[in-house]
């Protein structure tokens, strides 16, 4: 679930992140009958949840997630053995 602030006009950002995640994790989502919810909010909210777990919180984590980092965080939880390809190699090189 992605919560975003409508006052800040973050719908486009939230739906971009949604499309990234739905594309990258298409296999895992289809295997687990998964889905992704967009939830409008206010007050500068930008949060990403997996189930009840808050994976990213703009207030807590100091800004927006880098989408590659967000994918690694989600991969670590839902498919820890999966190789994300160049995203992982770039992280190793850092």
Strand-strand pairing, 2-5 and 53-57: unpaired
Both tokens of residue 66?
A: 């880098």
Among 8, 13, 36, 79, binds a second copy (CB under 8 A): 36
In the bound state with a second copy, the residue whose beta carbon lies nearer, of 35 and 94, is: 35
CA distances, 4 to each of 23, 31, 38, 57 (Å): 20, 27, 8, 10
With binding defined as CB under 8 A, does residue 68 bind a second copy?
no
Helix (H, G, I), strand (E, B) or coil at 47: strand
Asked whether position 30 contacts a second copy by CB under 8 A, the answer is yes
Q: How many CB atoms lie under 10 A from the CB of residue 54? A: 13
- The token duo for 9 is 């006009």
Region of 8-16, 44-52, 53-61, 81-89 interacting with a second copy (CB under 8 A): 8-16
Nearer to a second copy, 53 or 94 (CB): 53
Give the residues lining the site for a second copy (CB under 8 A).
1, 6, 11-12, 15, 18-19, 22-23, 26, 29-30, 34-40, 42
């Amino acid at each position: 679930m992605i919560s975003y602030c409508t006052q800040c006009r973050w719908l486009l950002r939230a739906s971009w992140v949604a499309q990234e995640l739905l594309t990258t994790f298409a296999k895992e989502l289809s295997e687990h009958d998964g889905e992704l919810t967009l939830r409008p909010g206010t007050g500068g909210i930008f949060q990403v949840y997996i189930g009840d777990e808050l994976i990213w919180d703009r207030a807590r984590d100091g800004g927006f997630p880098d989408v590659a980092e967000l994918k690694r965080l989600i991969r670590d939880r839902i498919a820890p053995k999966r190789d994300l390809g160049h995203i992982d190699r770039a992280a190793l090189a850092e």
